[in-house]
């Protein structure tokens, strides 16, 4: 598949690594073109299954059929505003945990909503939004596992076809996709993401842990 990642930071690197491992064509865009080029070069060096990685320059049109917002919540809002007209007809993947960046002990979204649902209000009508990757840390995505365990990627969305495409990306990258239901389940996923983040210091986990389901 052709995938655009907006954001060349740690999560962009982690998700991009899994996408390249799955043989997808990835393009990177970032407010810092140099960061986008550096990440594209890094990911391209890992392409062994026919995938590719390129960087977009400022003003370039995004070409991915799937667009991953690999950003914190506030920059996500800015990115959607900037690229809104180009998102029609694409699947938008929203990954953030919208934490209060000062206290890191609460979410800033309304209690009856989520970051994913707020993004869904802003994209063009009919554009599906899928929640994914918010319970997986960047380092574990680069490694593709945590303590020898396959990573679980919990997915929520209202469009079954869009979720199917994201599930395919996840599984092609060596991870296990778990569909948790409609987009409103992103509320619970984001609270789980906050809990997972808050446990890192007490556990001394160093953001190398993962949320894993067994049954």
List all residues 6 or more positions away from 101 whose beta carbon is below 8 Å from its beta carbon: 72, 74
What does the pLDDT average to over 31-40? 97
Residue 199 covered by a domain: yes
Residue 44 covered by a domain: yes
**pLDDT over 90 (residue 58):** no
Q: How many structural domains are present in the chain?
A: 1
CB atoms within 10 A of CB 140: 19
What does the pLDDT average to over 190-196? 97
The whole-number pLDDT of residue 107 equals: 97
State which residues form the domain around 126: 2-203
What does the pLDDT average to over 172-183? 98
With a pLDDT cut of 90, the percent of the chain lying above it is: 94
Residue 137 covered by a domain: yes
The whole-number pLDDT of residue 59 equals: 82
Check which CATH number belongs to the domain holding 87 and give it. Answer: 3.40.50.720
Residue 153 covered by a domain: yes
Residue 211 covered by a domain: no
Each residue of 103-116: pLDDT tens digit? 889 999 999 999 99
Helix (H) or strand (E) holding 139, with range, is: helix 138-143
Residue 134 covered by a domain: yes
**pLDDT over 90 (residue 185):** yes
Nearest to 185 by CA among 125, 113, 126: 113
Residue 215 covered by a domain: no
Residue 9 covered by a domain: yes
The whole-number pLDDT of residue 93 equals: 98
The whole-number pLDDT of residue 171 equals: 98
The DSSP code sequence of 10-52 is: HHHHHHHHHHHHTT-EEEEE-SSHHHHHHHHHHHHTT--SS-E
The whole-number pLDDT of residue 48 equals: 83
What does the pLDDT average to over 129-137? 98
């Amino acid at each position: 598949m052709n995938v655009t990642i907006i954001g060349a930071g740690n999560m962009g690197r982690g998700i991009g690594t899994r996408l390249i491992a799955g043989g997808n064509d990835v393009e990177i865009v970032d407010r810092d073109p140099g960061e986008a080029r550096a990440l594209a070069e890094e990911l391209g060096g890992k392409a062994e299954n026919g995938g590719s990685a390129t960087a977009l320059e400022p003003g370039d049109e995004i070409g991915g059929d799937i667009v991953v917002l690999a950003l914190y919540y506030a920059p996500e809002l800015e990115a959607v505003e900037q690229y809104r007209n180009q998102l029609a007809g694409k699947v938008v993947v929203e990954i953030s945990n919208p934490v209060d960046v000062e206290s890191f002990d609460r979410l800033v979204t309304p209690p009856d909503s989520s970051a994913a649902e707020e993004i869904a209000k802003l994209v063009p009508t009919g554009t599906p939004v899928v929640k994914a990757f918010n319970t997986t840390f960047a380092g574990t995505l680069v490694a593709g596992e945590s303590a020898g365990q396959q990573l679980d990627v919990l997915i929520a969305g209202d469009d079954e076809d869009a979720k199917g495409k994201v599930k395919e990306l996840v599984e092609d990258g060596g991870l296990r996709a778990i569909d948790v239901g409609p987009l409103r389940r992103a509320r619970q996923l984001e609270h789980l993401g906050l809990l997972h983040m808050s446990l890192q210091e007490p556990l001394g986990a160093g953001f190398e842990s993962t949320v894993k389901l067994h049954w």
